[in-house]
């Protein structure tokens, strides 16, 4: 019954893994930016314009990745809530259907004959109709032989 909920959780797990990958890329860019800042600070006499441009590019890329990761997590949260709501509704419907099926099977079982060849239960109207015609449940059973317990024909040639 909980398969719908489980599939919703698995979908959310996949989206979270995607966000983790984006976070690792942000960490990598932050580390690269830190290295570039340290190199710029320690290079006193050399031209650092190329490193400044690379630092700006790396910082911009890290900021872009942060916003994408945030958007991915927001979408994952929204998707998870929708999927869980849908899954709960579907699970409730499945439970109702299973209860109806079980109830129907129980009702069908009471209507059928039991394993001992007894006649099926009849309602009051059928009993009244049978009494008017002179039949009873015993005579009805006697008229219709039980195929399982019917006597087998014997060969009497001797």
Determine the Cα–Cα distance for residues 114 and 122; give it in Å rounded to an integer: 13
Rounded average pLDDT over 59-81: 88
Is pTM beyond 0.75? Reply is no
- Taking only the tens place, the pLDDT of each residue in 5-61 is 677 778 778 888 888 898 899 999 999 999 989 888 888 778 888 889 999 999 999
**For residue 75, what pLDDT is reported?**
84
Determine the Cα–Cα distance for residues 11 and 17; give it in Å rounded to an integer: 10
């Amino acid at each position: 019954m909980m398969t719908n909920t489980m599939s919703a959780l698995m979908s959310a797990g996949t989206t979270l893994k995607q966000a983790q990958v984006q976070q690792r890329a942000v960490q990598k860019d932050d580390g690269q930016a830190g290295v570039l800042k340290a190199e710029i600070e320690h290079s006193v006499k050399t031209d650092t314009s190329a490193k400044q441009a690379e630092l700006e590019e790396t910082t911009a890329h890290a900021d872009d990745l942060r916003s994408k990761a945030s958007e991915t997590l927001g979408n994952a949260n929204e998707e998870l809530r929708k999927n869980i709501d849908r899954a709960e509704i579907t699970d409730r419907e499945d439970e109702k259907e299973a209860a109806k099926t079980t109830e129907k099977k129980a009702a069908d079982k009471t209507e059928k004959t039991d394993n001992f060849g007894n006649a099926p239960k009849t309602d009051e109207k059928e009993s009244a109709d049978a009494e008017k015609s002179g039949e009873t449940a015993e005579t009805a059973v006697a008229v219709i032989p039980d195929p399982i317990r019917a006597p087998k024909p014997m060969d009497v040639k001797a």
